[in-house]
Amino acid sequence: MPLLQRLRFDHAPALLRFERENRAYFATSIPDRGDEYFAHFDARHRELMAEQEAGLHFFHLVVGDGGEVLGRVNLFDVADGSAELGYRIAEGATGRGLATAAVREVCALAATEYGLTTLRAVTTLDNAASRAVLTRTGFHPAGDVELDGRPGLRFIRHLHDGGASGPGETPTSVR
């Protein structure tokens, strides 16, 4: 059963494998990370860990039974009780509800562990799966954006009263 784990230094090899194996798949719906990301992965990973330690971001991995990374769910640009949500699921792990479960769990953590009150997210209009995940997890459209030259939508989620679920929802776990 997949587990949601906070990003650690020892995740680096599995995370790099996940990013390499899914690079072309991810590039069909979100901007590519570029060659520099892969060429300097170790240095970038150390920077991200330092930024997480400083409370600027909260990074999470969806990890399978064999230790393989199946996805990422990140809260970045944390400030003033708010953060931006970003997520990606491996091509071979899509369609199993992992993104929805992981986003719900991170929303709960955002409210209860990280003290956040509002989350924002963006996705392109042609990424129907991402829009569906955001809608299922209590996000609401909040305006148009352009992402890497493509039309998109901005979403917002208020984490009321410390709870991360919308009306009638129960937080679920990736576990």
In single-letter form, the type of residue at position 167 comes to P
With vertex at residue 50, the alpha carbon angle to CA 91 and CA 14, rounded to the nearest 5 degrees, is 30
Give the pLDDT confidence of 123-146 residue by residue, as tens digits.
999 899 999 999 999 999 999 999
For residue range 79-127, list pLDDT tens digits in order. Answer: 999 999 999 999 999 999 999 999 999 999 999 999 999 999 999 998 9
| pLDDT of amino acid 31 | 73
Q: What tokens does 154 get?
A: 């901005």
Q: What would the mean pLDDT of 41-59 be, rounded to a whole number?
A: 95
Q: Is the pLDDT of residue 171 over 60?
A: no
pLDDT at 150 over 60: yes
Which domains are delineated in the chain? 3-162 (3.40.630.30)
Q: How far apart are CA 117 and CA 105, in angstroms?
A: 15
Contact 60, 74 (CB under 8 A): yes
**Percentage of residues of the chain with pLDDT beyond 70:** 91
When the pLDDT of each residue in the chain is averaged and rounded to a whole number, the result is 89
Q: For the sheet containing 3-6, what is the strand order?
A: 3-6, 58-63, 69-79, 82-89, 118-124, 150-158, 140-147
For residue 174, pLDDT beyond 80: no
In this prediction, residue 165 has a pLDDT band, given cuts at 50, 70 and 90, of very low
Dist CA 139 CA 120 (whole Å): 8
97 closest CA partner among 8, 19, 14, 175: 175
Is residue 162 scored above 70 in pLDDT?
no
